[in-house]
């Protein structure tokens, strides 16, 4: 049985990023690869509507364009993981700008353990 080819080959992405770093600009092929990676990664997340998804994709792409030079091939050969992390964080930044009310806030949660008999106490987590 023939093995299904991945939508993006890690070694090919690494080679394009190395070439882009040498040229000090993203090659057209690297741009297409990073766009494809962004669309695939962001699609796995859940959104309220299509416009939110599109905005999160754009936010992730902006972060890719800002931070693509930060990848250091001499320290790691996993460009796929590096850029996927940037994409997820960029999408999260975009979501938090769109929906600041959904930011998770850590607060104390009180649990009342009394069941009407008055013996239970109140505990905070």
The pLDDT, as a whole number, for residue 104 is 59
pLDDT tens string, the chain, 125 residues long: the values are 455 566 788 899 999 999 999 999 999 999 999 999 999 988 878 888 889 899 999 999 999 999 999 999 999 999 999 999 999 999 999 988 888 876 655 444 445 555 555 555 554 44
What DSSP designation does 100 have? G
Model confidence, pTM: 0.74
- The 8 Å CB, 24+ separation contacts for 81-84 are 83/13, 83/34, 83/37, 84/37, 84/41
Distance CA 91, CA 53 (A): 9
The pLDDT, as a whole number, for residue 124 is 46
Q: Which fold has domain 10-124?
A: Rna Polymerase Sigma Factor; Chain: A (1.10.1740)
Q: Is 111 strand, coil or helix? A: strand
């Amino acid at each position: 049985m023939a093995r299904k080819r991945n939508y993006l080959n890690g070694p090919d992405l690494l080679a394009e990023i190395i070439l882009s770093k040498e040229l000090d600009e993203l090659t057209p092929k690297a741009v297409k690869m990073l766009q494809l990676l962004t669309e695939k990664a962001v699609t796995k997340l859940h959104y309220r509507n299509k416009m939110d998804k599109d905005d999160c994709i754009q936010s992730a792409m902006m972060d890719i364009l800002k931070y693509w030079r930060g990848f250091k091939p001499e320290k790691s050969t996993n460009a796929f993981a590096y850029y996927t992390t940037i994409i997820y964080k960029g999408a999260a930044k975009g979501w938090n700008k769109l929906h600041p009310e959904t930011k998770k806030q850590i607060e104390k949660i009180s649990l009342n353990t009394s069941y009407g008999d008055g013996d239970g106490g109140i505990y905070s987590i």
